[in-house]
Structure 1
């Protein structure tokens, strides 16, 4: 699956990067290349973190994945 990420120069140097489809996935790196690698890790961790948050909410809370009825094509900005 492909995700769209937004890279921006950080004030203190380096780059910040976030996944537009998964707002919880945010990272940074000293270079654009490093930031791109780190956001991949952050994207992979989102389901794990979501499951942990559900456990914190308590018994009876479940987390599921749904597929929207309308699937628009993703546009990746370089």
Structure 2
């Protein structure tokens, strides 16, 4: 029976366009997409592959822990 899991995905905009994709719960995943939709599709594929590989090796599959994201403002000397 198929199961589903949900993971937080971080899309980091790249200066020349596109997004770098990271999955905090699965740190081995670093991917890229030309736009947001492609980046999310790449994340989905990567997550599926990592989970399948971990299961095949008998390794635990981590559950997602929602990352806390904060902004910090710093003042720089002129």
Aligned equivalent of 2:22: 18
5+ residue gaps, structure 1, are 55-62
Report the CA distance shift for 1:47/1:7 in structure 2 as closer, same or farther (over 3 A).
same
5+ residue gaps, structure 2, are 70-78
Query: Cα RMSD over matched residues?
Result: 3.1
1:44 maps to 2:39: no
Higher helix share: 1
Query: Given the two structures, how large is their TM-score scaled by the length of structure 2?
Result: 0.61
Over 3 Å off, 4+ runs:
47-52, 71-75
Query: Given the two structures, how large is their TM-score scaled by the length of structure 1?
Result: 0.61
